[in-house]
Structure 1
Amino acid sequence: MKGTLKFLPISLAMILAFSCAENDSVEAKKAELEKLKAEVIELNGTIRELESELTQLDSGFAQQNQKSILITTADARKGNFEHFVEVTGAVLSKKNVSISAETAGRIVEVPAIEGMRVSRGQVLAEIDSESIQRNIEEIENSLDLARTLFEKQERLWKQQIGTEVQYLEAKSRKEGLERNLNSLKTQLDKAFVRAPFDGTIETVQVRLGELVQPGAPMFQFVGENDLFIEADISESYVGVLGKGDSVRVSFPSIGQEIKTRVSSVGSIINPNNRTFKVEVFMPKLDLVKPNMLAVMKIKDYENPEAVVVPSKLVLSDNRGDYVFVVEEGKAQKIYVKRGKTFQQDAEILEGLAGNEQLVDKGFREVGDNFNVNIAQQ
């Protein structure tokens, strides 16, 4: 036991010595790693400086050292280019009317509601006509008697019995009562407010039990036929648009587009917004309703022999507009003269023939004389 205890301090000393040696080795390796990283950073910086200097001094070295950039291409085309002015308008109806009462009385029934589609002659409201109906009944009773007396008097007159005055009086009384009856029936018919044509009830301005007078507005009514599109056009387009010109009209809410024509061009400039009104013929479409938003596309320019390229590929610098054209595996910077632009297309007036391949995807990564590799599409 005593022998074992004698060797214990020696073992602990060996372990501690080995541990210190191991720690020194790890720290040395870390230091060596940091030193190598610093050397790599310094070396990379030196390499970049040399490459930059050689690129400026030797164009051949620049071309050899340049990596190919992966791109896709888009073709320039030669053909018809059209430019349109887009103007927001609205679908209106020439049959937008206010329906008023034609007789006085109290409202006893209002079957019409806002937004209701009705047919011509359909009853929208009924005005109390009890007094008129009673007068009609009295007139009809009196007319029955007057007709009987007239028929008897007429038979007597044909037999040359009685006087002519008696015959004329009987005839006059009968005809007078017939006129009165027709007048009362006309008044009775006016007690029923009817739709003048097929359309939609926009607003209801009367309530059940309300007393109305002749001329009092009761309904705002819009017909479904005779629709047209109206828009305000800037005065800068005076002379560009004329009656009969073709226009395209789209309806964003239903996703439809039609081709129609201008039916009327205003001759007065609105001093408030410097515009003039244009009306466009509206063919009958089931989904198009009055007050619907419409976007009119008016063609103000056309070039049948234009060179057309995607507008996003036309870039600009201090010298002007340019595009990158692919020639023999390299991107060439070609300066162009741009004309009008509409949606995704741009008109090129000078600089391109219309048969070039343009750098599409990757056009912002390339430069003049950069090597390019066209990806398979």
Structure 2
Amino acid sequence: MSRRAFATPALLAVTLVFGIACSRADEGEVATDVGVHVGRIERATLHGYVTAYGYVEPAPAEDGTPAAGAVLSPLSPGVLAEIHAVEGRRVAKGDVLFRLDSRMAEVLVRKAEDDVTFAEQTLTRQQLLLQTDGTSQRALQDAQQRLSEARNALAAARTGLAYLEIVAPLAGTVVQLNARAGQSVDATTVLAKIVDLNRLVVTAGVPAGEAEGLKVGLRVLLGADSAAAHGTLTIVGREVDTSTGTYRVQASIPAGAGFTPGQFTEIRIIAQERKDVLVIPEAALVTRAGEGTWIAVVDGDQAVRRAVTVGLRDGGRVEVSGEGLEAGTRIVTDEAYGLPASTRIHVLER
């Protein structure tokens, strides 16, 4: 075999190794140039929330204002003769919603009226007789007593008749109707429920470990969506419910917010407020066990890890603090989790 024939395979091997090495070097350089989306550190006001769940109900009576709900039951036993209430319909205070059969009560009123008339006539006769010494002072006093008793009996009979009408004790909406004509009822029978839908509250339970610092007057977000209505904390209980481990709280609901009695809802009490703090999108924050928490700060065409301390989280944004951080600093957002400690990057358009 000639030297030339031997050299040719060796030269090919060297060329192949060099080519692979160059190829791997090129591949490594490409792998460290990562396409990323970027954002900026901003200044904003964030809030810390205490979340609880509860039910919507009528507002209770307070400071001379009557309760916003009422349960209607008859004051006297009887048979339901008329129903004027309609579920879902608004009523005014004093509207007659139910009538019981009143025939017997009307008879009693007429009898009592007759008794009063007779007692008045008797008293008048005794007064005339007394002027001519035709009667005694004792007989006159007896006549006066009988008239007083007759008038009291008439008042009682009229009251009994009035009790057979059940009227709306407040202006509101009939939210529940349980009555039917001909039904025998008494004071334990619930005929209907009326609620002023413009005066509702949410009653919820806050875990005992999260109740510290809660006080009347704090703002409350009602509902879980971004368009949550704003209410105010009106009651903060001071006794833990041992069966649930929670404190009872109550929040007002603004009129027209769209809530209904009995509805289950989330409330978020604004327990903290941090003004003018540095914030980033939550997607830009990376936390790994044993490595800590950081963000990837953009420096030219490089992304470099920067350790941060995390504060409040609110609506997809996170409060951060750390050495060298300031508003306007560019950071990697969506791809931060997969980046090495330092890498070359290029910015992707959204």
Give the TM-score normalised by the residue count of structure 1. 0.73
Superposed CA RMSD in Å reads: 3.4
1:247 aligns with 2:212: no
For the Cα contact (< 8 Å) 1:338–1:349, is it kept in 2?
yes
Q: 1 CA distance for matches of 2:33 and 2:338?
A: 11
The SS at the match of 2:283 is: helix
Question: How many residues are paired up?
Answer: 324
Q: 1:308 offset after TM fit, Å?
A: 1.2
Question: Does residue 200 of structure 2 align to residue 227 of structure 1?
Answer: yes
- In 2, the alpha carbon distance for the partners of 1:268 and 1:45 equals 79
Asked if 1:349 is matched to 2:321, the reply is yes
The offset of 1:55, in angstroms, is 7.4
Superposition pairs of residues 296-335 of structure 1, within 5 angstroms: 296-304=267-275, 306-317=277-288, 319-335=291-307
- Once the two structures are TM-superposed, the CA of residue 187 in structure 1 deviates from its matched residue by 0.3
- Paired residue secondary structure (1:185): helix
Hey, what's the Cα distance between the residues in 2 that align with 1:208 and 1:46?
Answer: 101
2:235 to 236, 254, 264: 264
Query: What secondary structure, in the 3-state scheme, does the structure 2 residue paired with 1:268 have?
Result: strand
Aligned to 1:280: 251
2:177 corresponds to: 204
Name the CA distance, whole Å, in 1 between partners of 2:278 and 2:125: 97
For residues 90 and 76 of structure 1, do their structure 2 counterparts lie closer, same or farther at Cα, with a shift above 3 Å needed? same
Cα pair 1:125 1:193 within 8 Å, conserved: yes
- Aligned match of 2:343: 369
Give how far 1:234 is off. Answer: 0.8
- Report deviation, 1:156: 4.6
The alpha carbon displacement at 1:312 in A equals 0.7
**Pairing 1:1-377 to 2, within 5 Å after superposition:** 49-53=21-25, 62=29, 71-93=36-58, 94=60, 95=67, 96-157=69-130, 162-213=135-186, 215-224=187-196, 227-242=200-215, 244-251=216-223, 255-260=227-232, 262-285=233-256, 287-304=258-275, 306-317=277-288, 319-355=291-327, 356-360=329-333, 363=336, 368-373=342-347, 375=349
CA distance in 2, matches of 1:343, 1:82: 9
CA distance in 2, matches of 1:139, 1:192: 20
Mapped to 1, the partners of 2:316 and 2:271 lie a distance apart of: 17
Q: Structure 1 residue 186: deviation in Å?
A: 0.3
Cα distance change of structure 1 residues 227 and 374 upon mapping to structure 2, 3 Å threshold: closer
Q: For each residue in 1:30-86, what CA deviation from the matched residue of structure 2 results, as whole angstroms up to 9, or x when unmatched?
A: xxxxxxxxxxxxx99986652324777xxxxx4xx6796665432112454322122
User: Residues 215-248 of structure 1, C-alpha deviation per residue, up to 9 Å, x if partnerless?
Assistant: 2223242431653321111111132313x24122
TM-superposition CA deviations, 1:106-134 (whole Å, max 9, x none): 22122224334322222232111211211
3-state SS of paired residue (1:267): strand
Structure 1 position 364, deviation (Å)? 6.4
Which letter does structure 1 place at the counterpart of 2:46? F
Identity, in percent, stands at 17
TM-score with structure 2 setting the length: 0.77
Greater percentage in helix: 1
CA contact (8 A) 2:56 2:202 kept: yes
CA–CA separation in structure 2 for the residues paired with 1:273 and 1:69: 51
Question: Contact 1:249/1:294 (CA < 8 Å) preserved in 2?
Answer: no
Further displaced range: 225-234 or 364-373: 364-373
Question: What letter is aligned with 1:266?
Answer: G
- Distance in 2 separating the partners of 1:81 and 1:166: 88
Tell me the amino acid that sits aligned with residue 57 of structure 2: L
Distance 1:46-1:198 versus aligned 2 partners, 3 A rule: farther
Q: Where does the alignment leave 5 or more consecutive residues of structure 2 unmatched?
A: 1-14, 61-66
- For 2:39, the aligned partner's letter is A
CA 210–254 in structure 1, closer or farther in 2 if over 3 Å, else same: farther
The residue matched to 1:269 in structure 2 has which SS? strand
- Rounded to whole Å, the distance in 1 between the matches of 2:73 and 2:331 is 67
After superposing the two structures, state which structure 1 stretch, 342-351 or 354-363, moved more.
Answer: 354-363
- Structure 1 contact 114–204 (Cα < 8 Å) conserved: yes
| SS of residue matched to 2:304 | strand
| Matched letter for residue 347 of structure 1 | E
Larger Rg: 1
Measured in 2, the distance between the counterparts of 1:325 and 1:222 equals 60
